[in-house]
């Protein structure tokens, strides 16, 4: 499994929904996807990032070298995710992406969202997400719609990874 890099056409495609019949077939893929994300210190990863154009991603916020202030949560696989509601309160914060190594940008996102998704066992989840977790969900959902975080940022808000770390005092 290899992470697709910016410029790869799959990152600009609309991913296809998964049927319940496909979920068990994809279970080993999702385990491998999570392992890959964690090995790269990611806090989320979408199936299209590894050239699998299906509507699935993992949200797995946890403090690490790339995101030292991330809140901790259990990795959560989200199938056919969608946003039902977004707050009008927008906040810019730094984002990076495993498909665009070495770059960060200040990206405006809603601070609170109401979402729905399905789990491998068929359970349908609806919940409200806030803060950094809401940001991850929106970032990963963008991947399913052929959008990368740089598309949402003003080019004046781009920074290299080293400059981002310097500005935040992480070096």
40 is in an annotated binding site: no
Let me know: does 75 contact 34? Beta carbons within 8 Å: yes
Nearest to 77 by CA among 42, 144, 142, 27: 27
Residue of 52, 95, 118, 140 marked catalytic: 140
**DSSP line for 27-82:** HHHHHHHHHHHHHTT-SEEEGGGGT--BSEEEE-----SS-TTPPP---EEEEEEE
Q: Is 139 annotated as a binding residue?
A: yes
- Let me know if 91 is a catalytic residue: no
Contact criterion met (CB below 8 Å) for 3 and 98: yes
Tokens 């310097």 -> residue: 166
Q: In what order do the strands lie in the sheet with 112-118?
A: 44-46, 56-59, 76-86, 112-118, 124-130
| Token representation of residue 31 | 């385990």
Q: How far apart are CA 40 and CA 33, in angstroms?
A: 11
Tokens of 27: 């279970």
Q: Which residues are annotated as a binding site?
A: 97, 139, 143
- Give catalytic residues, as residue numbers: 140
Q: Which residues are annotated as a binding site for Fe cation?
A: 97, 139, 143
């Amino acid at each position: 499994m290899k992470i697709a890099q910016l410029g790869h056409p799959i990152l600009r495609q609309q991913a296809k929904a998964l049927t319940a019949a496909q979920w068990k077939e994809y279970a080993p893929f999702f385990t491998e996807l999570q392992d890959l994300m964690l090995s790269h210190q990611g806090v989320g990863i979408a199936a299209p990032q590894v050239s699998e154009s299906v509507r699935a991603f993992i949200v797995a916020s946890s403090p690490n070298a790339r995101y030292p202030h991330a809140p901790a949560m259990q990795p959560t696989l989200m199938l056919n995710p969608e946003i039902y509601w977004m707050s009008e309160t927008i906040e810019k914060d730094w984002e990076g992406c495993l498909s665009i190594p070495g770059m960060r940008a200040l990206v405006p996102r809603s601070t609170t969202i109401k979402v729905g998704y399905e789990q491998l066992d068929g359970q349908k989840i609806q919940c409200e997400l806030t803060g950094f977790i809401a940001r991850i969900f929106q970032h990963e959902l963008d991947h399913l719609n052929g959008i990368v975080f740089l598309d949402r940022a003003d080019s004046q808000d781009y920074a290299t990874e080293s400059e981002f770390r310097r500005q935040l005092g992480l070096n």
